[in-house]
Amino acid sequence: MRILPRLLTLADRMSPPHVASAHCDLPCGVYDPAQARIEAESVKACMEKYAGSDDPDFKTRAVTIKEERADLVKHHLWVLWTDYFKPPHVEKYPQLHDLFWKATKAAGDAKRTQDTAVADDLLNQIAEIDKIFWETKKG
């Protein structure tokens, strides 16, 4: 009787591993450009609050928060770019690479300025990514 459990264990070790495949690194539904958009909206709101205040301490805090949020925008965009989008998406939407490059550059630019036009540009880039993202979810 003891030989049967040993044989089963040996058979389990010799069997080929199960291969799983998925479009992304987790089942779909965990990615959404909304995370980047929300952080970009915070960047713009911090710029607006900065412009509306005369308190130097408040302005310093607004800049600090804006820079943290801009880094989060970059993080969320890179997660989408590296974990969600795959070569077939780039084939279908060849502008993706340039779009992500421009969006992450805009997030970096937002760290260096209080110009809400930069934040608007960032939000526009994210809106383009969002549009493509949801088109890929249909197919």
Residue 126 has what pLDDT? 98
C-alpha span between 113 and 99 (Å, rounded): 21
| Structure confidence by residue, pLDDT tens digits, 29-81 | 678 999 999 999 999 999 999 999 999 999 999 999 999 999 999 999 999 99
Question: Hey, where are the domains in the chain?
Answer: 33-138
Rg (CA), the chain: 23
C-alpha span between 32 and 40 (Å, rounded): 14
CATH of domain 33-138: 1.20.120.400
- Helix axis angle for 34-51 and 56-79, nearest 10°, is 160
C-alpha span between 30 and 26 (Å, rounded): 7
Mean pLDDT of 12-38: 68
Strands of the chain, DSSP E: none
C-alpha span between 63 and 109 (Å, rounded): 13
Cβ burial of 136 (10 Å; 0-12, 13-18, 19+) is middle
- List the structure tokens of 68: 């943290």
| Structure confidence by residue, pLDDT tens digits, 74-128 | 999 999 999 999 999 999 999 999 999 999 999 999 999 999 999 999 999 999 9
